[in-house]
């Protein structure tokens, strides 16, 4: 079963909860935005900028078009199922951020370890955006990628 699959917590409340949580754990900046079917939050914590991109559910997902019993949903019911899926994602995001922040606060982990893929580098890419193609290339070629270098500067 998907976490918070039946939540009725509005997206705005989940987003506000995330913002309050970040403040409580020492964040000094917070942003939220969206473009198309992609939502994002950004924050600054311990001198690290973090950006988490969260794809929204696909409106054309067959699971949204049909009920649990397999019957075709009305347009209103499809919208309701989509809204539910969006609320579920925001609840899951709040949960994972809370767990990561608590792990850092408890000394179990570090900001870098918990948010490594989402840390924003000087070129405005996240580590994950930079690293994903490198990982694919490494697996295809069997060779490790070059060290992380500052573009345009000699090592």
Whole-angstrom distance, CA of residue 31 vs CA of residue 41: 6
55: helix, coil or strand?
strand
Rounded to whole angstroms, the Cα distance separating 39 from 55 reads 6
Query: Which long-range contacts does 145-151 make (Cβ < 8 Å, 24+ apart)?
Result: 150/122, 151/123
The answer to whether residues 151 and 123 touch, using CB atoms and an 8 Å cutoff, is yes
User: Is residue 88 within 8 Å of 5, Cβ to Cβ?
Assistant: yes
Q: Hey, is 123 helix, strand or coil?
A: coil
The H-or-E segment that residue 106 falls in is none
Give the global pTM.
Answer: 0.88
Query: Inter-axis angle of helices 75-105 and 11-24, to 10 degrees?
Result: 10
Q: What is the pLDDT of residues 94-104, one digit of tens each?
A: 999 999 999 99
Q: What is the mean pLDDT of residues 109-114?
A: 97
How does the average pLDDT of the chain come out, rounded? 92
Scanning 43-74, the segments in alpha helix (DSSP H) are 62-65
Residue 77's Cβ-count burial label (10 Å; 0-12, 13-18, 19+) is middle
- Kindly report which listed range (49-63, 105-119, 137-151) carries the lowest average pLDDT score: 137-151
């Amino acid at each position: 079963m998907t976490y918070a699959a039946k939540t009725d917590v509005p997206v705005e409340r989940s987003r506000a909860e995330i913002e309050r949580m970040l403040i409580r754990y020492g964040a000094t900046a917070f942003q939220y935005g969206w473009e198309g079917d992609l939502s994002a939050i950004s924050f600054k914590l311990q001198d690290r900028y973090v950006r988490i991109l969260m794809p929204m559910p696909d409106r054309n997902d067959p699971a949204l078009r049909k009920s649990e019993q397999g019957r075709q949903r009305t347009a209103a019911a499809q919208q309701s199922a989509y809204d539910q899926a969006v609320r579920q994602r925001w609840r899951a995001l709040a949960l994972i951020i809370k767990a990561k922040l608590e792990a850092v606060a408890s000394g179990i982990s570090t900001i870098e370890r918990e948010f490594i893929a989402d840390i924003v580098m000087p070129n405005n890419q996240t580590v994950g955006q930079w690293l994903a193609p490198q990982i694919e290339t490494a697996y295809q070629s069997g060779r490790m990628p070059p060290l992380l270098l500052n573009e345009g500067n000699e090592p």
